[in-house]
Each structure stands twice: as structure tokens, then as C-alpha cells.
Amino acid sequence: MLDIKFVRNNPDVVKENIKKKFQDAKLPLVDEVIELDKKNREIKQEVEALRAERNKISKQIGACMAQGKKEEAEELKRQVQANADRVEALSAEEKEVEEQIKKIMMSIPNIIDPSVPVGKDDSENVEIQKYGEPVVPAFEIPYHTEIMETFNGIDLESAGKVAGNGFYYLMGDIARLHSSVISYARDFMIDRGFTYCIPPFMIRSNVVTGVMSFAEMDSMMYKIEGEDLYLIGTSEHSMIGKFIETMLDEETLPQTLTSYSPCFRKEKGAHGIEERGVYRIHQFEKQEMIVVCKPEESMKWYDELWKNTVDLFRSLDIPVRTLECCSGDLADLKVKSCDVEAWSPRQKKYFEVGSCSNLGDAQARRLGIRVKGADGSKYFAHTLNNTVVAPPRMLIAFLENNLQEDGSVRIPEVLRPYMGGKSEIR
């Protein structure tokens, strides 16, 4: 959410940013919120003047009473009451106007970084760099569920009976591989100086609206019926929510946390042939990383975060690339974002396995996450998040890139301690 003062002083910048995000329907909101802000400031000024007048009259009442001028005192009391009635009416109007302002401000997208390429949707995202050599083996690579089935490692049919489409049972060595990847990712991030955390898996509505846009909330979140609780779609939501309404001392920054959680998503919309199996599902597990930092350090941390994911995948011998998200593909709160995509030798292309985002002070402004500087100044923190690893989707890349011609799957050396010392599964 932008600062209303910024919108008031830079309406053309805000409108140009909306155009770059191809959300022209939101352009009228800028003038509308500026007009509401003007009205709100006028109300505040009138309330302040009325209160000052009330204080002045109250003193006059005391003087009249002391002089025995009862009629004058009674008239002044009537003025005070009329004044109070007007203040009450204005206060109610002020609250209503501020609610309208907040609603609009939460719909106006954040100002994107100048380095973000302009494009309508994800088809116009820009490749930044490739890491590792993509290999297509001489033998045919089956679909990922077929690989899992050779190890009796997945049961979609039973999951369908128990929970419906979009769920799964992982079994045996595949289930162990899944847990091993999560454990390895946890230790990988701890070794990089991040504090490990297991957060709440449900959050209240004020946290939901603090960390994401209304459109994202509607398309992703599962609501707990009859309670002010939502199942998290990713642990970054409850991790950022950890700092709601806090004043952080500057010397405690940056806060660098890595978290494990299950994640729950509606995943609305049609699913393509390549999104069967465990690619696009309603429940999965994830290792995440978040940073709360000073504004001037957020771009440095942005680069650190996506590099962590690249390094983790490369340590597992999986080729990846980074992709810069264009303006039209950025969620409204994001300043800059890139995807990490893993190589699929079966599809002979890359697919998304993680996303890194710098949200500037948008989440902090919504959630009230402020910092107190050494000089006594107060400002909003910057927040960032990035996927460390999210199996079972990550297992698709792992299985395809480590499948051997005889049908066995090689276990990279770094993962072997988590797999009981196994160098392969058969």
C-alpha cells in the first residue's frame, strides 16, 4: 500500500505505474482517493477548529457563572452542545471517508522498480541467466507420476477417494525423499545464517489482507467456516505476520528467517496436461525464507535470496534459470520479482519451482511494521520473501534430472545423509 502523501504529490507517477501494469480500469481511483483525502483533511481541520472553539467557550462559561450571568452561560452551553453534536457527526463522516480511502489505497498497485521490464503477462517475462547445463538423456523419461509408481511411491486414486482431486499419498522411498529434501533445505538455510521457524498454519483476516491483495486472497485462500481464520497458502504470510504492529529497533535488523509449513491453495482455473500428478495441487509442503530489513538494504537482500535457491538446486545437480517477472505479471504489492525455474529433461524446457519477491514497504505499511532508527526517526521496514524449496513439485525436477537409464534414481551426495546413506533408490 502506498503512502497517501505520495499519491497526493505524485498522481502522474502513480497513474503511469498503473498503466505499466496494464490495469487501466484502476486509473480513476487515483483522482478519487485524492479527492477523498482532501475531504478527510478538511473534516479534520473543521473538527480541530470546533474543539478549539469549544475550549474557548468553556472558559467563557466559567467566567459567566462566576459573574452570575446565568442566561449568558446557558446560551454558551447550548453552543457547546451544538458544537459537540457537529464534532460527533464529523467524526462519523471522517471514519467513513478513511475506510473508503483505505479500501482504494489497498487496490492501487505498488510502484514497481525501474529495472522491471514492461509486459502484459508471464509470457513476456525475461530470462536473466542459466545455471548448469540442461541435459536431455538418450533414454525416454516417463511422466513424474509414472516414475514414482515404479517405486510404489504415490497413490493418487486413494487420495481422490479420501479428499478429491489435487491431493496425493506419497509412500516409501518417494515419501522419504520428499522429507529429506525439506530437511536438507532447512539445514542449508540455517548454514546461511537464517533462523529456523515453524509458524502457525492459520492466520487471521487482518494478516491476510496485510500480506496480499484481495484478488490473490480470493484465488488462493481457504477460509475456516465460522472463524476469523484462513489456512496459509505459504508460510511467508504468517512469517511476515509475526511482526504485525511492532516497532523494531534498527540494530535488530535484518531479521532473516527460514520456515517450514504445509501450504493450502485453491488453485482455481483449468489445469493443463503437464499440471497433472503433483504439479498443481491443493496441499504441499514448503521451506521458505523471509527478510525484514532497512529500505536501503532490500535490493541487496533480494539478490541474496534468489541466489540461495539457485545454489540449493545446483547442489542437487538440477540445472535452473532465473526469470525476471514483467510488470503485468507482478502482484500488486510487489516492487520486483523473479522466478527460479528448474530444467525438465522430459519436457525439454524449464518450469517454475520458486519465486523471489521484494515488496518494499507495502506489507509493512499494511501491517504496521515500523523501525526506530538510532537517531530516533521512525519508518516502515521493507519485507522480502523467497521459496527455498517446495516439494512435491520440486520432486518432479529431482526425479527427472537424477533418473538413470535402468530406472533407478541417483541421490546427490549432499542428500545422502538424509536418505540413510543411500546413493540411489531402486
**Residue pLDDT, tens place only, 189-231:** 999 999 999 999 999 999 999 998 777 777 789 999 999 999 9
Q: For residue 395, what is its C-alpha cell?
A: 520432486
More confident site: 95 or 277: 95
More confident site: 389 or 47: 389
- Measured in degrees and rounded to the nearest 5, phi and psi for residue 335 equal -90, -40
Q: Is 335 helix (H, G, I), strand (E, B) or coil?
A: coil
Q: What separation in angstroms does the CA of 185 have from each of 47, 281, 418?
A: 56, 21, 11
CA 300 to chain centre: 18
Segment 345-387, tens digit of pLDDT: 999 999 999 999 999 999 999 999 999 999 999 999 999 999 9
C-alpha–C-alpha distance, residues 155 and 204, integer Å = 33
How sure is the predictor about 257, in pLDDT bands with cuts at 50, 70 and 90? very high
Predicted local confidence at residue 270, as pLDDT: 43
Question: Percentage of residues in the chain with pLDDT exceeding 90?
Answer: 82
Q: Does residue 88 have a pLDDT over 70?
A: yes
- The neighbour count for residue 221, using CB atoms within 10 Å, is 19
Predicted local confidence at residue 269, as pLDDT: 52
Predicted local confidence at residue 137, as pLDDT: 94
Q: What separation in angstroms does the CA of 46 have from each of 59, 85, 86, 230?
A: 20, 13, 10, 41
Segment 263-299, tens digit of pLDDT: 999 876 545 544 567 888 899 999 999 999 999 999 9
Q: How far apart are the first and last CA of the chain?
A: 52
- Measured in degrees and rounded to the nearest 5, phi and psi for residue 263 equal -130, 145
Predicted local confidence at residue 275, as pLDDT: 52
Predicted local confidence at residue 290, as pLDDT: 98
Mean pLDDT, rounded, of the chain:
93
Average pLDDT over residues 62-75: 76
More confident site: 116 or 86: 116
Q: What separation in angstroms does the CA of 62 have from each of 49, 57, 362?
A: 20, 9, 50
In sequence order, what DSSP letters do the residues of 156-194 get, joined into one string? HHHHHHHT-TT--EE-HHHHHHHHHHHHHHHHHHHHTTP
More confident site: 75 or 294: 294
Q: Are 366 and 60 spatial neighbours (Cβ–Cβ below 8 Å)?
A: no
Counting Cα atoms < 13 Å in the Cβ hemisphere of 72 gives 13
pTM over cut 0.85: yes
In sequence order, what DSSP letters do the residues of 92-117 get, joined into one string? HHHHHHHHHHHHHHTTSPPPPPTTSP
C-alpha–C-alpha distance, residues 247 and 252, integer Å = 11
State the alpha helices, DSSP H only, in 250-408: 298-315, 362-367, 393-402
Average pLDDT over residues 96-110: 94
What residue has cell string 492466520? 203
Q: What angle do CA 293, 382, 263 make, to 5 degrees?
A: 95
Sign of torsion over alpha carbons 26, 31, 35, 41: positive
C-alpha–C-alpha distance, residues 351 and 343, integer Å = 7
